[in-house]
A and B are shown apart, each in its own frame.
Chain A
Amino acid sequence: MGAYEVGRLIFDLRKDEHLAEEFRANRDGVLERYRLTQEEKKAIRNKDVKFIYQLGVNPYLIIGAGGCLGLSRVELILALADAGPHPTERTTTYPGPSPAVTEQLKKMAAGAGPAHPSQMKPSGGRRTT
């Protein structure tokens, strides 16, 4: 449970194309293999990126979670609008979203902005490292 385990799931899904494929086919089966609370599993099923961010998952994994949550990049950023400062990354300042940026992102969302893949697949199923 917690930021480590949820972050681990996101990291693994990005790294391992076979796991990502299995997740698409049998999400609950994969979720069972991670030590997640019912609340955490529910957040993943409900695309609740704000919950995952407030849990303390690192923001670079948050932006990378779009694919597994089923959110486009722009949808994900807008869903974080009132998520507040990150709870554990304290050397950064969080002034809140810029209204001009939010306006532009909303326009992009209306025109279907580019998605952000959650998994980074090695090509052709061959191991790359």
Chain B
Amino acid sequence: MGEIAIAATVSHAPGITGFRAAAGAQGDRYYAGMAKLREAFEGAKPDVVLEIYDDHFTNFYVDNMPAICVGVGASHFGPAEEESFLKIQRRDVPGHPEPAWSLVREAFNSGFDLSISHKLLLDHGSMVPLHFVTPSMNVPVVPIIVNDVIEPMPLPTRVYELGKLIRNVIARRPKGERVALLGTGGISHWVGTPEMGRIDKDFDEWFLETAEKGKGRKLAALTPEELGKHGNGAHELRNWIAVYGAIGDRRGEIATYEAPIPWCCGCGAIIYRM
């Protein structure tokens, strides 16, 4: 029986690594908080990271847009963005087909027909958080892409169910397999609209506190319109909700929250030590 070694829900705004200096003292505090997450991650010694995030029109366009796509490949490549922009070195990122296929088989056996990809290009949504928790990219990653970028998007309740499926899959994995769960994106932000740079601090604090108390089921009940009140970028919180479906009412610890305008995003992270 496998186990969830650690879980975390974290922001992935490209500004975090791409324009750190522009955020001044806010950026320094954010990095200090992320150092706590890195320490917890390393202490948990995971064998694999299941990372739930959204693809920003890197792999997929609307000629064929998967609702949920699992990266089953033996390796991926990332980041898609230029190094001069994201400040993260481009490289192959190891995948892990065995747990990836366990997830896919279990999904199809339970009426959850996911898409799959044998080769993914990982963008900032994946690489910014990985850069903090596993900067040398030595822990294999199973990317799980949820469409949070263009309508129609899966309902928050649906991705919460995905989280429960993930928990069941982990339970059936070989004894001792240690899985790290990452859900990335959010918190409040608008991307590519006139509102870009606007941040809803009250909502962000409410969301973080609710999640920290283990009340993820309440967050899963938010409608798409309720999420969208806090930016098109807030739709990414589905990726956090998926993690909450897997960890249930587990309580966490807010590692950091900052709202730097140059990053155009309310950025935060919660650690769940399992």
Judge whether B262 and A122 touch: CB under 8 Å: no
In Å, the complex CA distance between A86 and B193 comes to 7
Majority secondary structure of chain B interface residues (helix, strand, loop or mixed): loop
Residues of chain B in range 49-93 having any CB-CB distance to chain A below 8 Å? 56-59, 61-63, 77, 79-82, 84-85, 90
In Å, the complex CA distance between A70 and B225 comes to 33
**B-chain residues with CB within 8 Å of residue A58 when the two chains form the complex:** 57, 62, 149-150, 192
Judge whether A92 and B232 touch: CB under 8 Å: yes
Instruction: From A7, A63, A84, A86, give the contact of B61 (CB < 8 A).
Output: A7
**B-chain residues with CB within 8 Å of residue A129 when the two chains form the complex:** 59, 77, 119-121
**A-chain residues with CB within 8 Å of residue B230 when the two chains form the complex:** 93
Q: If the complex has contacts A89-B151, A104-B261, A114-B18, are A64 and B194 also in contact, measured as CB distance less than 8 A?
A: no
Judge whether B192 and A61 touch: CB under 8 Å: yes
**A-chain residues with CB within 8 Å of residue B19 when the two chains form the complex:** 114
**B-chain residues with CB within 8 Å of residue A53 when the two chains form the complex:** 192-193
Chain B CB within 8 A of A121 CB: yes
Judge whether B77 and A128 touch: CB under 8 Å: yes
**A-chain residues with CB within 8 Å of residue B149 when the two chains form the complex:** 58, 60
Judge whether B262 and A108 touch: CB under 8 Å: yes
- With a 10 A CB-CB cut-off, give which of A96, A97, A129 has the most chain B CB atoms: A129
**A-chain residues with CB within 8 Å of residue B151 when the two chains form the complex:** 88-91
**What's the least CB distance linking B33 to chain A, in Å?**
23
Chain B CB within 8 A of A8 CB: yes
**B-chain residues with CB within 8 Å of residue A91 when the two chains form the complex:** 151, 153, 224-225, 227-228, 235
- With a 10 A CB-CB cut-off, give which of B57, B80, B81, B230 has the most chain A CB atoms: B57
Instruction: From B61, B120, B196, give the contact of A8 (CB < 8 A).
Output: B61
A-B contact pairs, 5 of them (CB 8 A): A14-B80, A77-B264, A89-B150, A120-B81, A129-B121
**A-chain residues with CB within 8 Å of residue B261 when the two chains form the complex:** 101, 104-105
| A-side interface residues, number (CB < 8 Å) | 48
Q: What 1/0 flags go to B20-33 for Cβ under 8 Å of A?
A: 00100000000000
Chain A CB within 8 A of B107 CB: no
Judge whether B120 and A80 touch: CB under 8 Å: no
Closest Cβ neighbor of A104 among chain B residues: B261
Chain B CB within 8 A of A46 CB: no
Chain A CB within 8 A of B198 CB: yes
Chain B CB within 8 A of A31 CB: no
**A-chain residues with CB within 8 Å of residue B59 when the two chains form the complex:** 129
Instruction: From B81, B85, B196, give the contact of A63 (CB < 8 A).
Output: B196
The 4 closest A-B pairs by CB, nearest first: A59-B192, A63-B192, A62-B192, A101-B197
Judge whether A123 and B90 touch: CB under 8 Å: yes
Judge whether A117 and B61 touch: CB under 8 Å: no
In Å, the complex CA distance between A87 and B194 comes to 13
